[in-house]
């Protein structure tokens, strides 16, 4: 009986350790847009944004992002943004936000962590899902991902 209890305990312990941890990141931006309008009514947006963020670990900080949005009536809206973030302890991480959607002001895409210092190093190469909504010059982005 003692061996059976030990086997059940080890199985339970291993199944807990195999569960993925969920990591959440909330970002709040104020953006500036420079726009080029093309004759076919498509538009190119150069985006620069500054913002603040907080995560599910209790960390928070500032973020700076640059990138582009290409909006087309015939094709989807394509977004490609790179960000540099720093936390309250001066540790940094860098990420990329990408998405294709049928809307410019909202959508679902992927976040890829490019680099990370110290505790953020475990996020490098992780692909996460995010949802975003733009309100004029402001935007909110909520991201979730599984960390092993």
The reply to whether 26 falls in a domain is: yes
Burial of 115 (0-12, 13-18, 19+ CB in 10 A): middle
Domain count along the chain: 1
Quick one: average pLDDT of 116-121? 94
pLDDT band at 103 (very low <50, low <70, confident <90, very high): low
pLDDT at site 104: 67
Residue 19 has pLDDT above 70, yes or no: no
Residue 81 has pLDDT above 50, yes or no: yes
116 C-beta neighbours (distance < 10 Å), count: 19
The reply to whether 111 falls in a domain is: yes
The reply to whether 43 falls in a domain is: yes
The reply to whether 69 falls in a domain is: yes
Name the average pLDDT for the chain. Answer: 85
Q: Is the model more confident about 118 or about 134?
A: 118
- How confident is the model over 29-70, as pLDDT tens digits? 999 999 999 998 899 999 999 999 999 999 999 999 999 999
The reply to whether 13 falls in a domain is: no
Q: Are 49 and 31 in contact (CB under 8 A)?
A: yes
Q: Which domain holds residue 111?
A: 20-147
Give the whole-number percent of the chain exceeding pLDDT 90.
67
Give the pTM. 0.81
Residue 128 has pLDDT above 90, yes or no: yes
The reply to whether 39 falls in a domain is: yes
| Residues in the chain, overall count | 148
Q: Say which CATH number the domain at 110 has.
A: 2.40.160.20
């Amino acid at each position: 009986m003692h061996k059976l209890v030990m086997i059940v305990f080890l199985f339970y312990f291993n199944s807990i350790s195999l569960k993925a941890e969920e990591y959440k990141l909330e970002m709040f931006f104020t953006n500036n847009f420079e726009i080029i309008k093309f004759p076919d009514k498509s538009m190119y947006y150069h985006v620069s944004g500054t913002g603040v963020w907080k995560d599910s670990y209790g960390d928070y900080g500032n973020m700076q992002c640059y990138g582009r949005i290409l909006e087309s009536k015939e094709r989807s809206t394509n977004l490609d943004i790179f960000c540099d973030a720093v936390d309250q302890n001066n540790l940094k991480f860098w990420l990329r936000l990408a998405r294709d959607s049928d809307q410019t002001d909202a959508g679902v895409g992927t976040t890829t962590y490019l680099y990370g210092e110290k505790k953020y190093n475990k996020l490098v190469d992780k692909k996460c899902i995010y949802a975003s909504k733009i309100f004029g010059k402001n935007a909110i982005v909520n991201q979730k991902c599984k960390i092993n």
